[in-house]
């Protein structure tokens, strides 16, 4: 046991050092690296939901978009009137000082984590009573409805969008903005990973798995499934909201359907990344998101204009041919590495049966 732990320690410290050094090593790709961190967080939180609990959601985009709007609104609303800011280029009349900017984003991120979690808790009882594909379609509807409704609300910019506060001009270092958002997202990534890792070692994860495998039986065993389902969803919402808040600051501009409640891109990406890496594993979503991001960035510029066609084809291919993902495939191939003991006799007998 101690040997494995030592190996883990080396792995984790190596990854953290790599993560801390990355913005200096790949200085030109800071925005991409920030995206990567956010994508991994989204994939991991989706996995908590879809992979562990078996509730395949398209609706986590709701919390992501909510977090984005909340962070920006709080950041502006703390110091200036929100309505005037969004009305007509308010970002030119009102300027945040450095202190105001960081105070605003700090409080904003706090709000953007707590409110989505509360929302998830509030709607959880109603929505999580649905199962399987009804849950999937219902959450899809929620995500899109949120986008459509946000696009009609005047105070947050309605159809023409919401410009988030620009990074304070008093900081002369041109690299500062990129570094700030990178380290913010990296911190989010680490805290998400630690949290998910903690869950993986807990009874909570087993309960979620029980719900996934057979909810009726889990209930019959005396587990109050609804309580755990809502808790699970709230955990996802918490980190999704934070990820959204950071992304809003990074992109600098919030549009209701194209950036915030972007079910067509982010909403599908998080499902796809988790499935690509392998649902229901700790490392699957991390690997899936990394692969997906490299693939996307590599291909996006090459096949300009055709990226959505490629994305659609990719979804179909992954879903049909690799529903278990990379980790699932590895698990099939090398079960011993995953701590599964295979009876050789049994395996041979099965082969003969075929």
Partner 1 sequence: MLMVQASLDGILLGILFALIAYGMALQWGVMNIINIAQGDLVILGGYIAYTMYLAGIHPAWGVIVSPIIMYFIGVLLYKLVINKVVDRDLFISILATFGIAIVFQQLMNFIFGADVVVAQSEYGTTMLFDNSVTLPNSKIFSAFISVLYAVALVIYMKKSRLGRAIRATAQNARAAKILGVDTEKVYAATFGINAALCGIAGALISITLTLHPYVGLPYTVRSFMIVIVAGLGNLPAVALSGMGLGLFEEFADYILGTEFRIGAVFMLLVFILVYRRFKLSKKREYLK
Our CB check for partner 1 shows the closer of 81 and 323 to be 323
d(CA 323, CA 342): 23
First to last CA, the chain: 37
- In the complex, least distance from residue 53 CB atom to partner 1, rounded to whole angstroms: 13
Q: At what angle do helices 176-200 and 30-46 cross, to 10 degrees?
A: 20
Nearer of residues 300 and 308 to partner 1, judged by Cβ: 308
Give CA torsion, residues 79, 82, 86, 91, to 10 deg: -10
User: Of 14, 106, 141, 298, which lies in the binding site for partner 1, with binding defined by CB under 8 A?
Assistant: 141
The nearest distance, CB 147 to partner 1, in angstroms, is 8
Binding segment (CB under 8 A) for partner 1, from list 111-119, 140-148, 287-295, 330-338: 140-148
Residue 208, judged by CB atoms within 10 A of its CB (0-12, 13-18, 19+), counts as buried
Is residue 106 a contact residue for partner 1 (CB under 8 A)?
no
Q: What part of residues 184-203 is at the interface with partner 1 (CB under 8 A)? A: none
131 forms part of the interface with partner 1 (CB under 8 A): yes
DSSP per-residue codes, 163-189? EPPPPPTT---TTHHHHHHHHHHHHHH
| Residue 155 binding partner 1, by CB under 8 A | no
Closest CA to 52 of 285, 260, 319, 349: 285
Query: Cβ distance 69 to 257 under 8 Å?
Result: no
Taking the complex as a whole, how short is the minimal distance between the CB of residue 24 and partner 1, in angstroms?
Answer: 37
Footprint on residues 42-81 left by partner 1 (CB under 8 A): 56
Could you say whether residue 268 binds partner 1 (CB under 8 A)? yes
Closest among 326, 238, 242, 342 to 287, alpha carbons compared: 326
> Which sign does the torsion angle of CA 72, 176, 19, 290 carry?
positive
With CB under 8 A as the contact rule, the residue among 11, 16, 316, 349 that binds partner 1 is 316
DSSP percent split of the chain into helix, strand, coil, nearest 5: 80, 0, 20
- Structure tokens of 307? 């990226």
- Tell me how far, at minimum, the Cβ of 162 lies from partner 1, in Å: 16
Q: In the complex with partner 1, which residue's Cβ is closer, 138 or 240?
A: 138
> x/- contact string, 277-306, with partner 1 (CB under 8 A)?
----------------------------xx
Of the candidate residues 53, 68, 82, 144, the single one contacting partner 1 (CB under 8 A):
144
Contact residues toward partner 1 (CB under 8 A) are 56, 126-127, 129-134, 136-138, 140-142, 144-145, 148-149, 151-152, 159, 264, 268, 271, 275, 305-306, 308-309, 311-316, 319-320, 323
């Amino acid at each position: 046991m101690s040997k494995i732990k030592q190996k883990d320690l080396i792995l984790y410290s190596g990854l953290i050092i790599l993560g801390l050094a990355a913005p200096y090593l790949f200085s030109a790709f800071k925005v991409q690296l920030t995206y990567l961190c956010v994508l991994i967080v989204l994939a991991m939180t989706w996995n908590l939901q879809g992979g562990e609990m078996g509730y395949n959601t398209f609706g986590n985009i709701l919390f992501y978009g909510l977090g984005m709007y909340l962070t920006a609104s709080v950041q502006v609303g703390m110091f200036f009137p929100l309505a005037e800011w969004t009305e007509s280029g308010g970002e030119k009349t009102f300027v945040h000082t450095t202190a105001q900017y960081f105070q605003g984003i700090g409080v904003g991120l706090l709000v953007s984590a707590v409110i989505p979690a509360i929302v998830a808790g509030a709607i959880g009882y109603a929505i999580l009573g649905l199962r399987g594909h009804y849950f999937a379609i219902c959450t899809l509807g929620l995500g899109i409805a949120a986008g459509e409704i946000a696009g009609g609300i005047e105070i947050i910019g309605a159809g023409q969008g919401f410009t988030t506060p620009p990074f304070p001009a008093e900081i002369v270092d041109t690299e500062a903005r990129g570094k700030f958002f990178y380290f913010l997202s990296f911190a989010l990534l680490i805290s998400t990973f630690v949290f998910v890792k903690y869950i993986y070692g807990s009874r909570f994860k087993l309960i979620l798995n029980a719900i996934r495998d057979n909810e009726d039986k889990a209930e019959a065993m005396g587990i109050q499934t609804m309580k755990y389902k809502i808790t699970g969803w709230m955990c996802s919402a918490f980190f999704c909201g934070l990820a959204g808040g950071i992304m809003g600051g990074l992109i600098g501009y919030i549009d209701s359907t194209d950036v915030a409640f972007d079910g067509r891109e982010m909403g599908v990406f998080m499902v796809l990344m988790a499935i690509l890496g392998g649902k229901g594993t700790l490392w699957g979503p991390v690997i899936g998101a990394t692969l997906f991001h490299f693939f996307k960035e590599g291909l996006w510029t090459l096949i300009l204009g055709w990226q959505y066609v490629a994305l659609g084809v990719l979804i179909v291919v992954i879903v049909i041919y690799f529903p278990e993902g990379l980790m699932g495939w590895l698990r099939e191939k090398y079960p011993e590495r995953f701590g599964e003991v295979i009876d050789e006799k049994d395996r041979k007998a099965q082969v003969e049966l075929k």
